[in-house]
Amino acid sequence: MADINFFPLFLSLKVAMTATFFSIIVGLPTAYFLSRSDHRAADFVDTVLTLPVVFPPTVLGYYLLVLLGRQSWIGKFLEEQFDIMIVFTPVGAIVAASVVSIPFLIKSARAAFSGIDSDILNAAKLLGRSEINIFFSICIPLAWRGIAAGIIMSFARAFGDFGATLMVAGSIPDQTLTMPIAIYDSMLAGKTELTNKLVMIMTGTAAIFLFLLNRFEKRITKGGR
Amino acid sequence: MLEVKVKKKFGNFMLESSFQAESEILGVLGPSGSGKSLTLRCISGLQTPDEGKIVIDGVTVFDSRNKIDVAPGRRNIGLVFQNYALFPHLTVEKNIGFGLKDFDPKTKERLVSEMVEKVHLNGYENHYPVHLSGGQQQRVALARTLITKPKLLLLDEPFSALDKHIKGLLEQDLIQIIRDSYKGTVLLVTHNAEEAYRLCNRILIFSKGKTIQIDNKEVVINYPTSLDAARITGCKNFLNAELIKEDESFVTLKSEYLLFQAQKPNVVLPAKLTAGIRAHHMQLSSQPVTEINNFSCKIIEFIEGIFSITVYVNCSGHIMQVEVSKENAKQLLEFDREKTFLYIPPERIFLLPQEDN
């Protein structure tokens, strides 16, 4: 195993975990508001957020480049104000992975939030709890299964992303080369043995993570539901 | 004390709710979709009325004119939902303590255990709602609101989710708990006139989104002020009639086929009236028993209930429903079905202005 560079594996894990983290922070409140609103705007937001699932990764990557590249308004702003560059950096990989994975979390969590009996929320409201308090004390626990499934899906999606990451972050060895891209590179270079090893590592890691996340979901679900 | 005067439009449905309640158990009676539950939701703040005013114990919680709309959580109203809406992921104890804020853990624990005692749920503190019976769940829901000492207690169809055979017991149990541990105004929503009569002092009647009558339960049942109120309280027989003659204490009326007398009410009567007679107030006999209000009729059908029998009779063209207890029904079978006599007690007839429909 001495010939294997583990950088892509660690980068992939780091990117997937950070992307999942952002998906939770942004996705859960979004899913909650979408589930509570029957306004047309909610459907519009939902559609926009689901587009990344339907787009070919290259199209999505291209949009991100246009939106966040050094020539773009956001890209310029971030570079000038905070010295942050997105394109061809690990940050870009995280952005790409977040965008592709967040719809899975939102879809799953929105369905779970919508399934909560609105009278349960009304009861909590009448008992004097604030919206935020109700979100954490009632909604998250009751929708937990759906949320957990969403987290698992979005982690899996972020971990395995290839196209969008390649478009936005490129494949700079030891900088932005994630595991799926490393596998592609090594296959193109004809290193069959290395490719096999990398695929095995990827498969093993994915299986372990899914197993751990499933355990985590079951442990938190309680209340005899 | 509660004062409500609100309007709210929902598509074609228009809610116009206007009534007052003291420290009492007020029965809110009406068919489903008549605006009872919507009124509770407006009072508790879960729905915002289009216009009007809601005052609880002298505090205005809603006033469209002065732009007052107190948030539901600050109105201090206890609402027991029709399906109880317990928090399924919390134990009985946690459910009951959910609304307690600003208490140290010790006091909170004491208050919760006192409340558990009051609603007879000792030993169930650590159970989850799904493991409780319907009646127990209902008591958790009641305890959860009572512990916050609400200014107003609203019960939305509290017994409709329960099996009929345990309903009777639970009804008394629940009302006893409320009488023992709650002193304010209680609104009990139901579509069952019997239930309202058994459990409440006064009854408010809703029909098609409007509050149409509020009075002591005896008055509401004996003297409904409209056809809808009469129907909702279970009256089955209506005769359209014309006023023929007014005596000192009786009036004579003529329906399409019958001439009958009714006790004279204390109001000025219009010429066209509807006379309502409840099914259990009429009597059937084989011979005329008195001189007035005895009509020859034919028995069309017997429908047997558990405790009584409903007899359909044809009284010179009017089909009437008479309810007879099972004991009295035995002798009925021996009557000549073609020639039976129906007696309508004049004091049991209530008169309403005729409505066109």
Every domain of chain A and the residues it spans: 7-223
Contact state of A122 with B73 under an 8 Å Cβ cutoff: no
Point out the residue among B79, B90, B130 whose CB comes nearest to the CB of A126.
B79
* Of the candidates A111, A109, A137, the residue with the CA atom closest to the CA atom of residue A29: A109
Give the pLDDT score at A220.
64
Given CB atoms, is A197 within the 8 Å cutoff of chain B? no
Contact state of A223 with B89 under an 8 Å Cβ cutoff: yes
Indicate the burial class of B115 (C-beta count within 10 angstroms; 0-12, 13-18, 19 or more): buried
- Alpha helices (H) in B100-252, listed in sequence order: 105-118, 134-146, 164-181, 193-199, 217-222, 227-232
Given CB atoms, is B102 within the 8 Å cutoff of chain A? no
Residues in chain B, pLDDT under 70? 356-357
Residue of chain A with shortest Cα separation from B80? A123
pLDDT average, residue stretch A161-177: 86
pLDDT, tens digit (0-9, with 9 covering 90-100), for A8-33? 889 999 999 999 999 999 999 999 98
Asked whether B86 and B141 are in contact (CB, 8 A), the reply is yes
Point out the residue among B73, B74, B83 whose CB comes nearest to the CB of A119.
B83
The length of chain B is: 357
Residues of B in contact with A142 (CB under 8 A): 87-89
Give me the sheet containing B68-69, strands edge to edge.
B68-69, B59-63, B51-56, B2-10, B13-21, B210-216, B202-207, B25-29, B185-190, B152-156, B77-80
Q: Does residue A223 carry a pLDDT above 70?
A: no
The length of chain A is: 225
Give the pLDDT score at A129.
92
Domain B2-231 maps to which CATH number in 3.20.20.450, 2.40.40.20, 3.40.640.10, 3.40.50.300?
3.40.50.300
pLDDT, tens digit (0-9, with 9 covering 90-100), for A105-121? 999 999 999 999 999 99
pTM over 0.90: no
Residues of B in contact with A127 (CB under 8 A): 73, 98-99, 144-145, 148
Contact state of B83 with A222 under an 8 Å Cβ cutoff: no
Strand-pair partners of A30? none
- For residue B140, give Cα distances in angstroms to B104, B118, B169, B178: 22, 11, 17, 13
Given CB atoms, is A132 within the 8 Å cutoff of chain B? no
Which tokens belong to B233? 């309280």
Sign of the CA dihedral B234, B237, B240, B246?
A: negative
Contact state of A138 with B130 under an 8 Å Cβ cutoff: no
Which of B 169-198 lie inside 8 A of A, CB atoms? Answer: none
Residue of chain A with shortest Cα separation from B131? A224
pLDDT average, residue stretch A56-84: 84
- Alpha helices (H) in chain A, listed in sequence order: 7-36, 40-54, 57-68, 73-82, 90-114, 118-126, 131-134, 140-142, 144-159, 163-169, 179-188, 192-220
- 3-state class (DSSP) for residue B295: strand
pLDDT average, residue stretch A204-210: 88
In this structure, how many other beta carbons lie within 10 angstroms of the beta carbon of residue B291? 7
Per-chain mean pLDDT for chain A: 87
Domain A7-223 coded CATH 1.10.3720.10: yes
Residues of A in contact with B76 (CB under 8 A): 128
Given CB atoms, is A112 within the 8 Å cutoff of chain B? no
Q: Do B236-353 and B2-231 fall under one CATH topology?
A: no
Q: Does residue A72 carry a pLDDT above 90?
A: no
Domain B236-353 coded CATH 2.60.120.620: no
Point out the residue among B86, B90, B101 whose CB comes nearest to the CB of A128.
B101
pLDDT, tens digit (0-9, with 9 covering 90-100), for B243-290? 988 888 899 999 888 889 998 888 888 889 999 999 989 988 888 888
